[in-house]
Amino acid sequence: MELIRFCHKRHISANDPNSWNQAAHQSSWFEYKLQVQNYPEFNPKMSFSEFLKSVPKADEIHARVSPSIRGLIGSFGGNLPGFQDANQDAIGLQQFKFTILDSDFEDASKHRIEVSLYSAQWLKIFVSPAGFLVCDPELIENLKRKEEVPTRLIPIQHGLGISHLQFI
């Protein structure tokens, strides 16, 4: 048996037409501009890759800017936005990861981010062309005793992937 976690990744740039993505872009770029000033070695003329390579602890910038979108994540109501199981029930959102892909202190159009949204773990029962039949991992002992357990069918959907796999 396997535990799986679903993920939806959003690659966001300045010209993204989605209003949530625009808000995440703007909020994270302003926060980036504030946070990079906390690095004494930062130079506004540096490229983002130069900043990451040459400034000590620059890799912490992702975690420093991440809180700028936490409130926006809350607008999803605890669910992976736009994804449902076969019964039209929402798929819960458990955590997110924020990454700056590129940025520029003076030019917002060069700021690109990735927001990865993760579901809780699910026990994968099997996969069919219709999708993934899963159940709550806490029910594994019930399955071993061949008891009936509630399941969910998560259809294969564009933009929804499996990010983690654990054999048990």
pTM: 0.92
Average pLDDT, the chain: 96
Question: Is the Cα dihedral 136, 141, 142, 143 positive or negative?
Answer: positive
Q: Can you tell me whether residue 99 is helix, strand or coil?
A: strand
Residue 35: closest CA among 65, 10, 66 = 65
pLDDT at residue 8, rounded to an integer: 97
Residue 121: closest CA among 140, 107, 141, 101 = 140
Cβ proximity of 28 and 73 under 8 Å: no
pLDDT at residue 85, rounded to an integer: 97
Q: Which amino acid is it at 115?
A: V
**CA Rg value for the chain:** 20
- Residue that the structure tokens 């399941």 belong to: 151
Percent of the chain residues topping a pLDDT of 90: 99
Give the β-pairing of 131-135 and 112-128: antiparallel
How far, CA to CA in Å, does 68 sit from each of 29, 124, 132?
Answer: 9, 34, 34
What's the pLDDT tens digit per position in 60-69? Answer: 999 999 999 9
What's the pLDDT tens digit per position in 147-156? Answer: 999 999 999 9
How far, CA to CA in Å, does 153 sit from each of 84, 90, 93, 118, 150?
Answer: 9, 12, 17, 17, 10
Percent of the chain residues topping a pLDDT of 70: 100
How far is Cα of residue 3 from the mean position of the Cα atoms in its chain?
18
Rounded average pLDDT over 88-116: 97
Longest CA pairwise span in the chain (Å): 64
Write phi, then psi, for 139 (nearest 5 degrees). -95, 10
